[in-house]
Each structure stands twice: as structure tokens, then as C-alpha cells.
Structure 1
Amino acid sequence: MADVALPDGRHLDHFLIRMRPVAAATVVNGAGEVLLLWRHRFITDSWGWELAAGVVEDGEDVAVAAARELEEETGWRPGPLHHLMSVEPSNGLTDARHHIYWADEGTYVGPPVDGFESDRREWVPLRLVPDLVTRGEVPAANMAAALLLLHHHRTSTVSLHA
């Protein structure tokens, strides 16, 4: 609980959750497919497509954390990572900042260490992303925003490498 001072001088109690930064990553292969995880979220009892993601450990570089999470959860080691976006998905409740990366190549290094984190991992055509989001199959707002931005940049003339 935080004591919040409003601009007019009044105070109110507000719930607040302090969290470490989160790093997420994916790979887009030469066929225009994006590596996603199909997973269950017990808090909302919902299934959906997500990128590999997890907390950034103390002292860990954010991009290194994104690569680590991708490899642990999918078994794929990304090539050079490109920063896609950073968002605050629930800034009315938590200070968590999510940093999302992508690579245009990856190497399969074996079964995921954290395979329990998802029901399956699939290469999904990036062109299907808008329909997946529309149908509610990407329920997490941060993941939907990242995938839509990645889709936009990969299907337009704008370069994400700039």
C-alpha cells in the first residue's frame, strides 16, 4: 500500500506492486514465422500465445536476460537481438517495465530447460498475428502490442534495425 499525494494536496492509499524488469524475446525465421509459446495463465485461467519472457536477474543485462529466457523456454538460441519496444503493461498497479526483443535468426540447441512453462512451442506465420489478437488468442496486452508492432515492421518498409 502506498500513500499517494495528489496534485491538489489530498492523499489516498493505493495498492502498488514493485517488480523487477521483465525481458521477452522471439525469433522470426526466413519463412516469416514467429516462435511462440502456447501457455496457460492460472491467475486468469486462460490460454494464449506469448513470447518467451521472465524477470531480469539482479545485475543482468536486459538483452542477455531476453536471450536466456528464449533459450530456456523454447530451446532456441537467438541470433543478434534487436530491441522492439519497452512498455509498462499495468502502470496503475505495478512499476514493472517489459523489454521486448526479436532476432531474425536462431539456432535450435535442444529441448527447452523450462518446457513446463508452456504446453507447446510453435512457429506461427507472422501474417496471422492480427487475426490471433482479434480472436483473443494473445490475451496479454504486452504480448499483443509486441506482436502487432513486429508484424507491422516486418510487413512494411520501415526497418527495425535502425
Structure 2
Amino acid sequence: MRWKIHSERTLYQDPWVHLASADVELPDGRHLDHRIIRTAAPGAGLAIVINARVLLIWRHRFITDTWAWEIPQGSIRPHETPAAAAVREAQEETGWRAEGPITPLVYVQPSPGLLTSEHHIYTAARAQHLGPPEDAHESQTIAWIPLTDIPALIAKRDVVAGTTVAALSLLLCAPR
């Protein structure tokens, strides 16, 4: 059943986010004053897997005040393909440049009931270390984590970002 938007008004907007309130009619005729968060740009990320190890960053997220492992990811720039953005973000955040085929892994909308955010996630099986990361402020630690360790890290909440959980879960399901 499709919900119908009758009107929408801006509550707040800046270059990064647009918060709106929508008058939404449910299929049974009831109306909701629903919030919508529109993000500025889609995101892209890259899971580099070499010798059954995945390159992850250990970072603090101030919004939730949590530490966790994540795949490198960030915004897609205007006129940049999602795959190019994924490679660029991985290099900026880790110092590793993916080489060879960059393969689509998963497309996710992390919270489609509230956000317009969309993430294009890729995988690569080869990379070259170029040096320290350009964006050293992105993480405290950069490490190659064995894929066999991922389920335990998810269970103990050391991997919590939805996009990272989705990407790593798919990698674990892939035949090796």
C-alpha cells in the first residue's frame, strides 16, 4: 500500500542535510505529520579483501559516542561514479589504493523510513599501500581483520554500522 504525500515543509536545511515535515495520508485515510531527513549526497564504500582479511578502520562516532570497526566510506562527489568514490574514500581513509576490478557488492538504504541516504558498496581483491592515510582524523586504527573474526566482532558490538554489517555479512556468505 502506497502512502500519499499531500504537502511538505522545510524545518531546517543546510548544505549537508534537509529536515522536512510531510503531511502523509495512510491507505486507511489517516494523516501523519512525518519527518523526512534528506541527505546531500549518496555514499560509497569499499571492502578490500585480501587473503581472507578485510581492511577496516576503528573509529569513534561522536553522535552515538561509540567505537567500532567500519569499512571506509564517504560521499560521492558531483560527476564522480560511485565506484571511483569508493576507491578514493578507501585511499583517503586508509592509505591503501584498490587495484584491479572494483566489483559491486551491495546497494543499501540504511533507514528508508526516515532518511533518503543511499550507499553503494564495492569490493576489491587487490590493493597497494601508498602510505599514511590523508584523512588520519577518520580513524584511530587501520587493520586487516580476518573474515573469520567478523561474526564475533558483530556479536560483541565492535561492528555496528548498518552498511558495514550488510557488506561484511555478504562477504561471509560468498563462496571462497
**What is the TM-score when the length of structure 1 is the normalising length?**
0.90
State the distance in 2 between where 1:118 and 1:99 align.
Answer: 21
Q: Kindly state the Cα deviation for residue 10 of structure 1 after the two structures are TM-superposed.
A: 3.0
State the distance in 1 between where 2:47 and 2:162 align.
Answer: 16
Where in structure 2 are the equivalents of 1:143-158 lying within 5 Å?
143-153=164-174, 156=175
Structure 2 residue identity aligned to 1:134: A
Q: Does 1:4 align with 2:46?
A: no
Q: Does 1:73 align with 2:64?
A: no
State the distance in 1 between where 2:96 and 2:155 align.
Answer: 28
Q: Kindly state the Cα deviation for residue 132 of structure 1 after the two structures are TM-superposed.
A: 0.9
**Which residue in the other structure is 2:106 paired with?**
85
**Residue among 83, 89, 101 paired with 1:63:** 83
Q: CA RMSD in A?
A: 1.2
Which consecutive unaligned segments of at least 5 residues does structure 1 have?
A: 158-162
Q: Does 1:98 align with 2:94?
A: no
**Which residue in the other structure is 1:24 paired with?**
45
Q: Kindly state the Cα deviation for residue 38 of structure 1 after the two structures are TM-superposed.
A: 0.2
Larger Rg: 2
The SS at the match of 1:4 is strand
- More strand per residue: 1 or 2? 2
Contact 2:47/2:167 (8 A) holds in 1 = no
**Which residue in the other structure is 1:33 paired with?**
53
Which consecutive unaligned segments of at least 5 residues does structure 2 have?
A: 1-20
Higher RCO, 1 or 2 (CA under 8 Å, sep at least 6)?
A: 1
Count matched residues. 154
Q: Kindly state the Cα deviation for residue 127 of structure 1 after the two structures are TM-superposed.
A: 1.1
**What is the TM-score when the length of structure 2 is the normalising length?**
0.83
